[in-house]
């Protein structure tokens, strides 16, 4: 099993060395840092189970370290150590997400008990994963996978608006799951037995949008060889989901407004009104207020669509959803590809937790589908993840045309990258890594010691 890994942050080097020695004798893997900034860099690069940080330090104090670590990966437990403990400090630390706090001088028995509690908590979390599928239906709004407070607020609002007739505007970046929310609202509403129709405005050319929404009569324009009903008529009695509503041209916005206000549409090439009973759910990643200011989006349409607004936060703002989403996607694509995957390694999940996901949930799904397909084992590991998920490094050090860093620093950085990559590819097997690098295992061990790599 992987050793339990701690990161110690303290500006008192004597205490740091003594504590490191004590913990390593108990088979813990220990990283150390003399300030918060250095500790944060270590946490960004390595898999960490528990951070023990001093409270009073130059630069970042313990509270800042706590907040930075939780922002990086909320799954990492943080304990703050202080010689100046007070009830006010303790309350503030616990509110900010600290697992616990300790007072100096550290009682080693108390420290051991605390570490055991963290280990037990993590073990329980692993065991609870087996129960998650059974409990999912109780705690999730329809089929949406989440466990973050941010998404609970979204689902709470969506659940309350579902039974109404109100138009809903769902906002958020591409890939956050806006259509999933729209479907959840529809299938939880009295209209659930009627059609749920989707139209993506961004996927249509401007001259096709009107026909797509309202339909057309035979001969209405060149190529209209037969009558066609539009999405409004298809959705009659149900829900029409208009994705990327901010891309609708101004002339068509007027017709959309009329359809929402009066429940009437006219097909292109006809002046006969058609009654429709359609609930509108619209979505956009654009700033409609800016488009209104520029005269590109009608104010009256905005207020008709924006009866209830639901903002779906990006994945980087709800990182606690990543583990359950990862589990869901691994199970999904294991089944689709007839592979018996058991899950994802702690280190690989840690890398995903530290990645910002510009493509949001859609990108996470893509990454894990790829990993399941390419994995040679039944556990998704670091080597199964694409290179762009790696945390940012000081690449300028490796740039041969950047002379701001000294020669020795550049050589050392390059050697670290090369050896680290070889060890990652061989899953830590030093003999195999040495063969890959074309050096002896003894030479590799010597370099590892000199470079401070373990």
Helix (H/G/I), strand (E/B), else coil: 434? helix
Q: Are both 156 and 251 inside the same structural domain?
A: yes
Task: Using alpha carbons, select from 435, 288, 285 the residue that is nearest to residue 358.
Answer: 285
Q: Are both 351 and 256 inside the same structural domain?
A: no
Q: Are both 104 and 60 inside the same structural domain?
A: yes
Q: Is residue 171 part of a domain?
A: yes
pLDDT, mean of residues 24-35: 94
Question: What is the domain count for the chain?
Answer: 4
**With bands split at pLDDT 50, 70 and 90, how would you rate the model's confidence at 326?**
very high
Q: Are both 254 and 353 inside the same structural domain?
A: no
CA–CA separation, 367 and 372 (whole Å): 9
Q: Are both 300 and 326 inside the same structural domain?
A: no
pLDDT at 219: 79
Complete DSSP assignment for 192-222 = TTS-EEEEEGGGS-HHHHHHHHHEE-TTSST
DSSP E strands, 201-317 = 215-216, 228-229, 239-243, 264-265, 274-275, 279-284, 308-311
> Is the CB of residue 82 less than 8 Å from the CB of residue 56?
yes
Type and span of the H or E element at 277 = none
Residues 6+ apart with CB under 8 A from 186: 162, 192, 196, 238, 239, 241, 279, 281
CA–CA separation, 27 and 245 (whole Å): 58
CA–CA separation, 227 and 279 (whole Å): 24
Between 36-50, 53-67, 403-417, 419-433, the lowest mean confidence (pLDDT) is in 403-417
- CATH number of the domain at 287, please: 3.40.50.300
Helix (H/G/I), strand (E/B), else coil: 118? helix
55-105 confidence digits (pLDDT tens): 889 999 999 999 999 999 998 999 998 876 566 777 788 888 899 988 888
pTM over the 0.75 mark: no
Q: Are both 290 and 325 inside the same structural domain?
A: no
Q: Are both 360 and 325 inside the same structural domain?
A: yes
Whole domain around residue 274: which residue ranges? 149-313
Q: Are both 14 and 56 inside the same structural domain?
A: yes
Q: Is residue 138 part of a domain?
A: no
Q: Are both 218 and 308 inside the same structural domain?
A: yes
Type and span of the H or E element at 146 = none
Task: Using alpha carbons, select from 133, 291, 429 the residue that is nearest to residue 437.
Answer: 429
Q: Is residue 296 part of a domain?
A: yes
144-189 confidence digits (pLDDT tens): 788 888 888 898 899 899 999 999 999 999 999 999 899 889 888 8
Beta-carbon count within 10 A of 350 CB: 23
CA–CA separation, 202 and 209 (whole Å): 9
- CATH number of the domain at 404, please: 1.10.10
Angle, helix 87-95 to helix 62-72, in steps of 10 degrees: 10
Q: Are both 296 and 323 inside the same structural domain?
A: no
Q: Is residue 134 part of a domain?
A: no
Q: Are both 18 and 85 inside the same structural domain?
A: yes
207-245 confidence digits (pLDDT tens): 889 999 999 888 778 777 788 889 999 999 999 999 999
Q: Are both 288 and 256 inside the same structural domain?
A: yes
Q: Is residue 139 part of a domain?
A: no
């Amino acid at each position: 099993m992987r050793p339990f890994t701690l990161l110690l942050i303290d500006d008192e080097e004597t205490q740091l060395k003594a504590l490191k020695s004590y913990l390593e004798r108990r088979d813990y893997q220990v990283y150390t840092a003399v300030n918060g900034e250095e500790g944060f860099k270590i946490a960004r690069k390595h898999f960490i189970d528990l951070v023990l940080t001093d409270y009073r330090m130059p630069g970042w104090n313990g509270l800042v370290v706590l907040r930075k670590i939780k922002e990086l990966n909320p799954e990492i437990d943080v304990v703050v150590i202080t010689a100046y403990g007070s009830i006010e400090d303790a309350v503030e630390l616990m509110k900010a997400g600290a697992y616990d706090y300790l007072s100096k001088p550290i009682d080693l028995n108390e420290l051991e008990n605390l570490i055991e509690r963290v280990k037990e908590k993590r073990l329980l979390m692993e065991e609870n994963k087996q129960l998650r599928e059974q409990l999912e239906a109780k705690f999730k709004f329809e089929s949406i996978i989440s466990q973050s407070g941010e998404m609970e607020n979204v689902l709470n609002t969506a659940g309350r608006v579902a039974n109404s007739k109100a138009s809903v505007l769902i906002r958020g970046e591409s890939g956050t799951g806006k259509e999933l929310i729209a479907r959840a609202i529809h299938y939880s509403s009295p209209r659930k037995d009627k059609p749920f129709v989707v139209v993506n405005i961004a996927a249509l050319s401007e001259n096709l949008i009107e026909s797509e929404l309202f339909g057309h009569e035979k001969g209405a324009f060149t190529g209209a060889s037969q009558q066609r009903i539009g999405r409004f008529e298809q959705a009659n009695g149900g829900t029409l989901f208009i994705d990327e509503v901010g891309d609708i041209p101004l002339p068509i916005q007027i017709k959309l407004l009329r359809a929402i206000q009066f429940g009437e549409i006219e097909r292109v090439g006809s002046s006969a009104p058609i009654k429709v009973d359609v609930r509108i759910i619209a979505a956009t990643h654009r700033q409609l207020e800016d488009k209104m200011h520029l005269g590109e989006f009608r104010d009256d349409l905005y207020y008709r669509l924006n009866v209830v607004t639901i903002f779906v936060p990006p994945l980087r703002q709800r990182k606690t959803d990543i583990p359950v989403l990862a589990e869901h996607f691994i199970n999904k694509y294991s089944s689709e590809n007839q592979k018996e995957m058991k899950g994802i390694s702690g280190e690989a999940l840690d890398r995903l937790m530290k990645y910002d996901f510009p493509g949001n949930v859609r990108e996470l799904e893509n990454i894990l589908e790829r990993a399941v397909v390419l994995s040679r084992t039944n556990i998704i590991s670091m080597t199964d993840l694409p290179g762009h998920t790696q945390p940012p490094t000081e690449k300028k050090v490796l740039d041969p045309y950047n002379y701001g860093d000294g020669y020795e620093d550049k050589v050392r950085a390059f050697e670290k990258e090369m050896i680290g990559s070889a060890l990652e590819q061989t899953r830590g097997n030093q003999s195999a890594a040495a063969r890959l690098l074309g050096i002896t295992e003894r030479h590799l061990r010597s370099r590892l010691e000199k470079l401070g790599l373990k």
